[in-house]
A and B are shown apart, each in its own frame.
Chain A
């Protein structure tokens, strides 16, 4: 570790992993509820489990991004964080707000939670993914602003690199678009319209900048390729991601009451959205090919390269499958959407956070990389998680196709009802649950590899000094 303030990242990474485990547990509960509808009812109804599963995902990824930022910013700017204390305070605020919200979801009925938190004075609750009580939303906004302040002050006083600029831009965008969570118009059309400004413009807009910056950082460190080469790719990938991603918001405006021209804009631009992910993949492989040194942390490289492949498949290919308006007319809100959502989030964001943790955690603990055995276990965990997630995706795709076939394509008389269709895909849901268990095993293997590494090795300071000297 080159800068003392980088250790601000540690609690963020650790807490992210705890929430990750929680997310997977609730994923397994949900997978079971798809088959046995009243599993764990009335303690954990489906809607609550789903809310916890998706909210935990977003929150742990945010913890991961913040940890990544605190880790890489000192190295990029070549100076200490502006305020490690602020980073520590914000961690506890964020962790407390997150934990209390999840407890609130689980302890009382959602309507009671809304009442307790005074939702009626400033109603923002009750919308998918934005279910958090208004006070939690305000707390999140304050955390983002404090975090941004810390980031910007650090960037201003230090060296300005393209990586830190792209990352900061992404984080500013993240905070800015969060503000639309507070906009809750009475019109359902307007509500959905601006709801996507948070949901879509996060994951298919500004988050891609964060992804690009973290990936570029890892590749610069592990391959030793010239910064200039990496930066040039980063610029062009980001430009393409924004051109396609911003106008690609249109693919959410199909059939919701927005003007008809969105059918064209959404179809054309989201059809292009796979391209920046493809460029990301070419970028990673071309950097690997031009590498000037072999970094001992093979596991981090595996995660980083794997991230670009799975992101291309999940966000790119599976997104494209149902993005054209004439196709989406039939697939809107089927299991195909769930298939895309799972692989895209896993490939693009879960894997990049796991990659930066994989790279940073050993360094934060005074070694350049984990022991070989630990890395072998970690790489196996990467394969286990990736193959399981691919299986989940393929099975949900199959479920989606059956659903479209039985429920959507036939005319009024021939179409099967929603619940009857769900019954028809029960077998697929069983297999999906099995794949979900496989994924959970992968997560445990990942965590176990760090425990094994911590037990096996003593801090190897000279190696760390080498890293510092080389960078």
Chain B
């Protein structure tokens, strides 16, 4: 349990660093999708492992994940 949390935490830090590094590039539409994908993965990990919704009611996980998708979709849609 604890090791899994620690791994999630380290992975989240690493992905944040990766995203920050990607932000230094200014060209290419792949960049946009890469950053959105990274945010999606980070958000879902937080929801599943820190919030503990992986074991929680499916409806709750669906609502919070749905929120995540809606936010990222609105980012992708307007950019």
Direct contact of A and B (CB under 8 A): no
B interface residues with partner A (beta carbon < 8 Å):
none
A interface residues with partner B (beta carbon < 8 Å):
none
